[in-house]
C-alpha cells in the first residue's frame, strides 16, 4: 500500500476503519480489552515505506489504548 495510514478494515456494517481513525482517536475504544486481527500479515509493517511502526493496525490499536492485540505475521488463506 502506498499510503499506510489509509489502510482500512471493512466492518460488518460496511463502515471502514482506517489506521488514521485509530491514531487520531476518532473511535472510542476505551472499553475494548482485546483486538484480534485475523487476516494476511496484519502484524507486519513495510519499514521501507513506513519507518514508524505505529503506522500499522496493531500499532494503531495500541496507540488507541487497546491493551491486548493479536495479529498475524504469516499469510492466512
Cα separation, 5 vs 24, whole angstroms = 11
- Residue among 18, 76, 4 at smallest CA distance from 46: 4
Distance of CA 73 to the CA centre of its chain: 13
pLDDT score for 70: 87
In this prediction, residue 40 carries a pLDDT of 66
Intervals of the chain under pLDDT 70: 1-2, 39-55, 76-77
Q: Confirm whether pTM is higher than 0.75.
A: no
pLDDT at 65: 92
Give the pLDDT of residue 29. Answer: 92
User: Residue 59: which of 76, 47, 48 has the closest Cα?
Assistant: 47
DSSP 8-state assignment for residue 73: S
pLDDT value of residue 42: 65
**9 vs 57: CA distance, rounded Å:** 9
- Predicted confidence at residue 52, as pLDDT, reads 55
Task: State the CB neighbour count (10 A cutoff) for residue 65.
Answer: 13
In the prediction, which pLDDT does 38 show?
77
Amino acid at each position: 500500500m502506498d499510503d499506510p495510514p489509509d489502510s482500512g478494515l471493512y466492518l460488518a456494517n460496511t463502515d471502514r476503519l482506517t489506521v488514521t481513525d485509530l491514531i487520531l482517536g476518532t473511535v472510542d475504544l476505551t472499553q475494548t480489552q482485546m483486538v484480534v486481527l485475523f487476516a494476511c500479515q496484519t502484524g507486519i509493517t513495510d519499514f521501507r515505506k513506513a519507518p514508524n511502526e505505529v503506522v500499522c493496525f496493531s500499532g494503531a490499536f495500541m496507540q488507541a489504548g487497546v491493551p491486548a492485540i493479536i495479529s498475524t505475521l504469516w499469510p492466512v488463506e
